[in-house]
Amino acid sequence: MRRIFFASTAAFVLCAAPLAAQRSLLFVENSQGGDVSVIDAVTLKVTGTIPIGLAPDEIVASPSGDVLYLDRIVHRADGRPTGNGELVAIDPATSAILWRAPLHGSPNHIAVSPDGKRIYITIVSGSWVVIVDAAKHAVVDSVDVGTGPHDIEISRDGKHVYVGLIRGTDVTEFDAATKTIIRKIPFDQNVRPISLSHDESRLYVQLSHTHAIVVVDPKTGKIIQKVAMPVPAGKTLPDSMPIDVNHGLRITPDGKFLIANGSIVDVATVWAIPSMKLIATIPVGHDPNWIVLSPDAKRAYVSNRRSDDVSVIDLTSYKEIARIKVGKWPQRMAAVMVAGK
């Protein structure tokens, strides 16, 4: 048996099939295109498209990598949003849609429990996180976390769930077993992406209107440091900062590096953690939005919303080695290994 890391779920799984009999694939959801681009990670070519329906928002893999979960806002026949959503399960090996489950409210980000049994989905139009039973294909519970839940992270032991509020200014932590709120960590701006260190000693946070990374002790809520993001030569920041200055954080499997998007200046950055020493600043496409790692963690994939492409970054040289055109308005991605040549 060989260990394989599925970067999109930040969990290690066992896979019996040999590497030679597997394919490395990247799935990119295109929010305005209403579909998912399938990329062969060896050839770096788009090999297929999965039609989903308008406004997909997030796509993640189960811990075993055998199912992809995608959520979207459902639209009417005239193209207007209904205000409700659905969760779509996809077979990554065949690109077939396995099932769909309705969601009340507009869904945003997704996290899957380490055992694969529960799927947590933030409902950004409301104040709650819904919990879907992966076997029943249905919502079985919800947790009220505060206004506008956005990004969501689960601790590696599955015991704690962290939710950033994009229409509020807190990160809410709740107990996965009891569904009770443990604490709220306050900030001075709306909370964008968050990333939890492997040992749960650090929470890395991006905020609206803020070209920086805020580092917090999640156990006390105390801010440890606030690190300014770089501004490359030839780039300038506007006098009035938009709400989506930066979007996208990812910690490498060894827990030693944090990759962060500088969306407003079109870069991806690499930081040593916990020291937060800047290691590299890498130019990418226009408006980088999300980051996932290849299954072997040798590459980072960055989705660029306004240029409709994905940057492929080599994590040894810290260089962009390819830029792949995908669908309209690419955002979240999932990287998995699937059986077959």
Per-residue pLDDT reduced to its tens digit, 271-285: 999 999 999 999 999
Q: How far apart are CA 223 and CA 214, in angstroms?
A: 7
- pLDDT, average across residues 143-157: 97
- CATH for 277: 2.130.10.10
Reduced to 3 states (helix: H, G, I; strand: E, B; else coil), residue 38 is strand
- pLDDT computed for residue 147 by the predictor: 97
Structure letter (DSSP) for residue 217: -
- pLDDT, average across residues 308-314: 98
Within 13 Å of residue 22, how many CA atoms lie on the same side as its CB?
18
pLDDT grade, residue 17 (50/70/90)?
very low
Distance of CA 241 to the CA centre of its chain: 23
Q: Is the pLDDT of residue 39 over 70?
A: yes
- pLDDT computed for residue 81 by the predictor: 85
Q: How far apart are CA 95 and CA 38, in angstroms?
A: 9
Q: Is the pLDDT of residue 7 over 60?
A: no
Q: Is the pLDDT of residue 8 over 60?
A: no
> Exposed, middle or buried by CB within 10 Å (0-12, 13-18, 19+), for 313?
buried
Domain count, the chain: 1
Q: Is the pLDDT of residue 297 over 80?
A: yes
Q: Is the pLDDT of residue 152 over 90?
A: yes
Reduced to 3 states (helix: H, G, I; strand: E, B; else coil), residue 119 is strand
Least confident of 140-149, 238-247, 283-292, 315-324: 238-247
Say which residues have a Cβ less than 8 Å from residue 325's Cβ, sequence separation at least 6: 46, 308, 309
- pLDDT computed for residue 341 by the predictor: 64
Q: Is the pLDDT of residue 14 over 70?
A: no
Q: How far apart are CA 87 and CA 69, in angstroms?
A: 7
Q: How far apart are CA 164 and CA 173, in angstroms?
A: 9
DSSP letter string, 275-292: TTEEEEEEE-SSSEEEEE
Q: Which domain holds residue 8?
A: 2-339
Q: Is the pLDDT of residue 127 over 60?
A: yes
The chain-wide mean pLDDT, for the chain, equals: 93
Q: Is the pLDDT of residue 135 over 90?
A: yes
This prediction's pTM: 0.92
pLDDT grade, residue 13 (50/70/90)?
very low
- pLDDT, average across residues 253-271: 97
Quick: pLDDT tens for 63-116. Answer: 999 999 999 999 888 878 898 999 999 999 999 999 999 999 999 999 999 999
**C-alpha closest to that of 226 among 161, 167, 276:** 276
pLDDT grade, residue 35 (50/70/90)?
very high
Q: Is the pLDDT of residue 1 over 50?
A: no
- pLDDT computed for residue 61 by the predictor: 98
